[in-house]
Structure 1
């Protein structure tokens, strides 16, 4: 069974490696939407795969590092594309959530990344 929990955060960034004149080279912000997917069997007696409250406890410190911050100032995010950010988030959460199978990170309502830890 696969469960999921959604989160959001607001961050600013710029992409230093894109060509001069590209709009993403300038500082701008996004409201990101992050969905965490975990897989497992239903545990008894609780009747759930993972407590959603436990998922929130795992993800909250990561969100707190990103929310209302300049992503470029965070170690490992000097070139914070959605792809690089999704790997960074995965690396923070996976050790604490063995059942993690994928994350979806939306940078805009129509653009995002799905990362499965490969």
Structure 2
């Protein structure tokens, strides 16, 4: 059997975005509360009964959150344009060196009703 375990965090951040629609408001500095969920997939270890220890994942995600929380996303090195797609990629790349079994990263803005999911094919 294959299992998927998840851990969530949130962060508040500001950004600007160049767009063709809703352009005026997007160009001005504005902020959102972002939510992120990271999933790890695999078979539980016979001795621990865990796919991965969520405590290790939480500790790692605390460091990722610190890189994004209360930041101006336009200035976060390695992010690129502060889109939901790029945030998914940024989190994935930050987590994957420590957790090769990352299967999915989802970033969404509850207040806006939009989100993005990046998953392993």
Is TM more than 0.5 here?
A: yes
- The runs of 5 or more residues in structure 1 that have no matched partner are none
User: Where in structure 2 are the equivalents of 1:11-22 lying within 5 Å?
Assistant: 11-15=13-17, 17-19=18-20, 22=23
Match of 1:114? 117
Question: For the aligned residues, what is the CA RMSD?
Answer: 1.7
Mean alpha-carbon deviation: is it higher for 6-15 or for 74-83? 74-83
Aligned to 2:37: 35
Q: TM-score, normalised by structure 1?
A: 0.89
State the match for 1:5 in structure 2: 7
Runs of 4+ deviating beyond 4 Å: none
Which structure 2 residues correspond to residues 1-118 of structure 1 after superposition, within 5 A? Answer: 1-15=3-17, 17-19=18-20, 22=23, 23-109=25-111, 110-117=113-120
Deviation at 1:21, TM superposition (A): 6.3
Once residues 20 and 100 of structure 1 are traced to their aligned partners in structure 2, the CA distance between those partners, rounded to angstroms, is: 34
Measure the CA separation in 2 of the matches of 1:77 and 1:13.
12
Instruction: Note the residue ranges of structure 2 that are not aligned, 5 or more in a row.
Output: none
In the alignment of these two chains, the number of paired residues is 117
Q: 1:57 aligns to what SS in structure 2?
A: helix
Q: Aligned-pair distance for 1:45?
A: 2.2
Asked if the contact 2:7–2:38 (Cα under 8 Å) also holds between the matched residues in 1, the reply is yes
**CA–CA distance in 1 between the matches of 2:37 and 2:68?**
15
Q: Is the Cα–Cα contact under 8 Å of residues 14 and 24 in structure 1 kept in the other structure?
A: yes
